[in-house]
Structure 1
Amino acid sequence: MTENEILTPAPPQVEEVSAGIFAYIQPDGTWFLNNAGFIVGPEGVIAIDSTSTARRARALFAALRRQTEKPVQVLVNTHSHGDHTWGNFVFAPNTAIVAHERCREEAIGSGTSAAALFPDVDWGEIRVTPPFVTFDERLTLYAGDLRIELHYLGPAHTTGDIVAWIPERKLLFAGDLIFNGGTPLAIGGTIAGWLEALGRLRSFGAESIVPGHGPVCGPEAIDAVERYLRFVQESARRGFEAGLEPLELARELDLGPFAELSDRERIVANLHRAYSELRGDPPAAPLDIRRVFAEMVAYNGGQPPHCFA
């Protein structure tokens, strides 16, 4: 296998979602298998997110190069998580890396520590290459005459979530505010804030959405994420009032239709986040990640979450 070949669980797919705009979809969208994208303009390329492992980052860059030889002028990070940022190094040093100011802070603060949770993954020579152009609320980029609006919608999935909205095409790169077919993960963010962010997503009027994980979708995916998050909120309220610990509650819960989502063990992490909010902790207050991860393993009957990165 060459360094750019990805064999499991399926090869990444490049999908032209609008003229000159490409989504890079990594099946099956589970742990550390995110989506990325790129916009080819007359003078250069605006890329959106990188990937998790060195091998996958090089595969992304190779896929981009099969579409164009134009320089990558800008790389946008939608948030700080390693599956969206650890591959930034393949774009450096000739690309401006842009994100919300909180994304930069989180990326530097957490480093590559999450890789230790999945010791069987061949991460390669990943390293933190943080955004060095940051903004607060909104930033506009142009690919020729095509307007790309970056909007801050956090704290939500993380404290630094942004989306890339292309109004002329009614196309939205939503980052991890949208999981399509997978269980959303709020361990580093705020469920209440995420629900507010979904309302703002609706206001764009997007017809096509490139989610952070899973296939390209329409606005119905916003409703699906909202239903799950409200299920977590309401379940947590009942469990909290009953004095149950998050893992105890998770084991008692009937996930109903949400049992069909991948990475179901994330219910444990999401309940921990919901409990934090019920206690009145600040939004995105730090959790004990190793404890939460260990409880997800326990929920899985002692099996670690699958990670095909």
Structure 2
Amino acid sequence: MISVDACSTVHRTRAYLDAIGTITPQPVRTLINTHHHGDHTFGNHLFAGATIVGHEATRAGILDWGEPKSAPFWTEVEWGDVVLEPPFLTYTESVTIWADDLRADVRHVGLPAHTTNDSIVWLPERKLLFSGDLLFNGGTPFLVQGSVAGALQVLEEVVKPLGATTIVPGHGAVAGPELIDDVLGYLRFVQEAARAGHAAGLTPLQTARDLDLGAYAGLLDPERIVGNLHRAYAELDDGPLGRRIDVAAALGDMVTYNGGRPLTCLA
């Protein structure tokens, strides 16, 4: 059994493992982390005996992030007794994992996108893609720790050419290939808004407040537009993609845009 990502809290990860147990008595022998964020990795330690696989930068990111802690910008979460357990089998570019005769190609995407350490899991015989948080279905993409330009390039040049017919996104329901174009449309919308706002001398928050989100207003967590604009603004000077920005300032502006309410954490 292979699992792509864990869950965020002890409660959710145990429920996930229980759900797996209703399908097969086989234990999860391999756990793949698509990136370092805690909502995909804090439950790693509950996969007893599993080989935890991740990109070398994912391991570093988990260790740098540390155990869950109180975050002033977010609603409170009951994490449970989380024990940090990063991948102990890492790769630089890719690794192939087999479940009997089923091939799973785990590939680093090559550029900052959702984060600076994203990987996808591709099952070519099934045309099935586990995208990690490169793709959200029904939720607003979030790139404050990654790159808007990089995500566009990765989706166009790495993800789309695979020809996936079924996509398991990082968040939201299983989808078809049309989800790629949906997310690409949002990312282009962010880039265009950033260029216009910057040219007008506006801050990311001011640009967001003046912006009509249109069809994207119905996505979960629309306030992420502010954080995404912070990232897109940082890319207007042609500096390195994924470079550090003031994430705390971006999150603070998101709270302001959200009417002073804490950001919702669905962990």
Partner residue, 2:103: 147
TM-score normalised per structure 2: 0.95
Runs of 4 or more consecutive aligned structure 1 residues displaced over 3 Å after TM superposition: 112-115
Opposite residue 4 of structure 2, the aligned amino acid is I
Match among 89, 92, 97 for residue 136 of structure 1 = 92
Give the Cα separation in 2 of the matches to 1:71 and 1:255: 44
What are the within-5 Å matches in structure 2 for residues 287-302 of structure 1? 287-302=245-260
**SS of alignment partner, residue 167 of structure 2:** strand
Partner residue, 1:277: 235
Give the Cα separation in 2 of the matches to 1:252 and 1:184: 20
Partner residue, 1:237: 195
C-alpha contact 1:115 1:123 (8 A) present in aligned 2:
no
- Overall identity of the aligned pairs, in %: 51
Partner residue, 2:119: 162
1:87 aligns with 2:55: no
What are the within-5 Å matches in structure 2 for residues 186-205 of structure 1? 186-199=143-156, 200-205=158-163
Q: Measure how far apart 1:151 and its partner are.
A: 1.3
**SS of alignment partner, residue 84 of structure 1:** helix
Q: Measure how far apart 1:128 and its partner are.
A: 2.0
C-alpha contact 2:75 2:265 (8 A) present in aligned 1:
no
C-alpha contact 1:139 1:150 (8 A) present in aligned 2:
yes
Q: Measure how far apart 1:127 and its partner are.
A: 3.1
Aligned-pair Cα RMSD in Å: 1.4
Match among 100, 107, 112 for residue 55 of structure 2 = 100
Q: Measure how far apart 1:204 and its partner are.
A: 0.7
**SS of alignment partner, residue 223 of structure 1:** helix
* Residue-by-residue CA offset, 1:183-225 (whole Å, 9 max, x unaligned): 0000110111111110211111111000001110000000000
Partner residue, 2:207: 249
Give the Cα separation in 2 of the matches to 1:115 and 1:157: 22
Give the Cα separation in 2 of the matches to 1:270 and 1:113: 23
Q: Measure how far apart 1:156 and its partner are.
A: 0.9
Unaligned 5+ residue runs, structure 2? none
Partner residue, 1:23: none
Give the Cα separation in 1 of the matches to 2:263 and 2:192: 25
Q: Measure how far apart 1:289 and its partner are.
A: 2.3
* Residue-by-residue CA offset, 1:154-191 (whole Å, 9 max, x unaligned): 32111111111111111111111110111000011011
Partner residue, 1:308: 266
TM-score normalised per structure 1: 0.82
Q: Measure how far apart 1:105 and its partner are.
A: 1.1
Give the Cα separation in 2 of the matches to 1:192 and 1:114: 30
1:260 aligns with 2:215: no
Give the Cα separation in 1 of the matches to 2:260 and 2:154: 34
C-alpha contact 2:70 2:76 (8 A) present in aligned 1:
no
Give the Cα separation in 2 of the matches to 1:282 and 1:288: 15
Opposite residue 51 of structure 2, the aligned amino acid is A
* Residue-by-residue CA offset, 1:82-110 (whole Å, 9 max, x unaligned): 11001101014x11110111111111111
Q: Measure how far apart 1:290 and its partner are.
A: 2.2
Partner residue, 2:139: 182
